[in-house]
Amino acid sequence: MRCRICGHDGVQPFLDLGKTPLSDGLVRPENLGGPEPRYPLEVAFCPGCKIVHILEDVAQEILFPEDYPYFSSFSEHLLAHSRRHALGLVEGRGLGAGSLVVELASNDGYLLQNFVEAGVPVLGIDPAPAQVAQANANGVRSICEFFGVELAERLVAGDYGDLGPLQADAIVANNVCAHVPDLNGFVAGMKLLLKPGGVITVENPWVRDLIDHCEFDTIYHEHLYYHSCAGWARLAERHGLHLNHVEYFPDLHGGTLRWHLAHEPARTPALDAALADEQSIGLDTFAYYEGFAKRVEQLKADLLGLLRGLRAEGATIAAYGAAAKGSTMLNYVGIGTDLVDFVVDRNPHKQGLLMPGTHQPILDVDALLERRPDYTLILAWNFKDEIMRQQSAYDDAGGRFIVPVPRPEVVS
Ligand code: JHZ
């Protein structure tokens, strides 16, 4: 019950999703029937630092094994968003051949490749070996490491391979600050690595959208924290950084904020407005989170009712997206192979494996047209527009989609 970030010993739980398997722990068919550990998944609000946490700490080596299957490059929407972000930094900060951009959790180089194209030197840092190998093969210089103060110290001192001493003009940390147990060490490391006058941008889904749109499935063991402006203002202050600006991307991952931090103060009216807005709705108080569990239970009942009803009528149902959030959805709601036959996903690293806990086989997306399930539950609902556009032939052939959040709905 002690907060990992500020040490407060009275964090307030508000949602218990029971024991679930690891969301990216896709099962090899040959291991079916073997042990598949489940871990408690309970969420709490910290009245000290205002950050929402899960209570369970699964070891990083277990959460992020060598064969971690998430590759960022399978969504056109995310690639386009990342390109705009990169080009915006190049132009806005005047980056060029003499600059350095460091990305933390750079995955397969999906974002940094835009800087490389623009002639800006980069360094990607990510603990997943296959993704780092892919990035390097694509010409995006990357190292395979977990980031924290120690690594930052080595990089700044020039004590890392032949990299030489370095500091960054821009540090990008997208969808990683939910994943790091020692978030204080991570932020302190970013501060060390940042040149005077440089900028840090951090993107993460906004906890307000999680709560308001019932995006409970984005809660899983990899995601230790659920972020807000109120939380980042305190974190930045604790580490002697300035939180200066925030941008909102409502259609990315269910609602994403991008925070801008620097050594120097340059606070914008947009940040002031966002902080005031969070305060006015009480996002920095426990009351905001109290009714959430009931709404999650209702969504579970509605989705189960819908799927069982369709099955009772003889309909066949598949799912789209072997996403980590898909695993929370299937396991918490209790959607086994009796309701959903198979899951499709474009990522070949996921195909041929089985969903954690519920064990639907993961197939190539062509299976939708080949097998023509009557309904397809979009587990990667954050990309629903892109997926439905891409699957227009399935739609034309009479297939229908089910979008599970903010409330289960059949669409076509
Ligand atoms: P996706 C990811 O979570 C990873 P996940 C991570 N845990 C994180 O923090 C959040 O994002 C923010 C597939 N797909 O990205 C690709 C298609 O097959 O929403 C993915 O397997 N065809 C670090 O795993 C999955 O769907 C498509 O056209 O919950 C989407 O997973 C598209 C667009 C995606 O999130």
353-366 pLDDT, tens digit each: 999 999 999 999 99
Q: Which residues line ligand 1 (CB under 6 A)?
A: 70, 74-75, 175, 178, 222, 253, 321-325, 345-347, 350, 365, 380, 382-383, 386-387, 390
Return the domain boundaries, the chain: 72-288, 292-411
Q: How is domain 292-411 classified at the architecture level of CATH?
A: 3-Layer(aba) Sandwich (3.40)
The CA 206 to ligand 1 mean position distance, Å, reads 17
Q: 153-176: per-residue pLDDT in tens?
A: 999 999 999 999 999 999 999 999
DSSP per position, 22-78? -TT-PBPGGGTTS---EEEEEEEE-TTT--EEES----HHHHS-TT----GGG-HHH
Per-residue pLDDT, 328? 98
Q: Which fold has domain 72-288?
A: Rossmann fold (3.40.50)
Residue located nearest, by CA, to atom 22 of ligand 1: 346
Q: How far apart are CA 35 and CA 135, in angstroms?
A: 33
On the question of pLDDT at 323 being above 80, the answer is yes
Q: 1-57: per-residue pLDDT in tens?
A: 799 999 999 999 999 999 999 999 999 999 999 999 999 999 999 999 999 999 999
Per-residue pLDDT, 412? 77
Per-residue pLDDT, 1? 79
Residue located nearest, by CA, to atom 16 of ligand 1: 74
> What are the C-alpha distances in Å from 309 to residues 90, 213, 330?
52, 24, 17
Q: 108-134: per-residue pLDDT in tens?
A: 999 999 999 999 999 999 999 999 999
Domain pair 72-288 / 292-411, same fold: yes
Q: For the whole prediction, is pTM greater than 0.95? A: yes
Residue located nearest, by CA, to atom 26 of ligand 1: 321
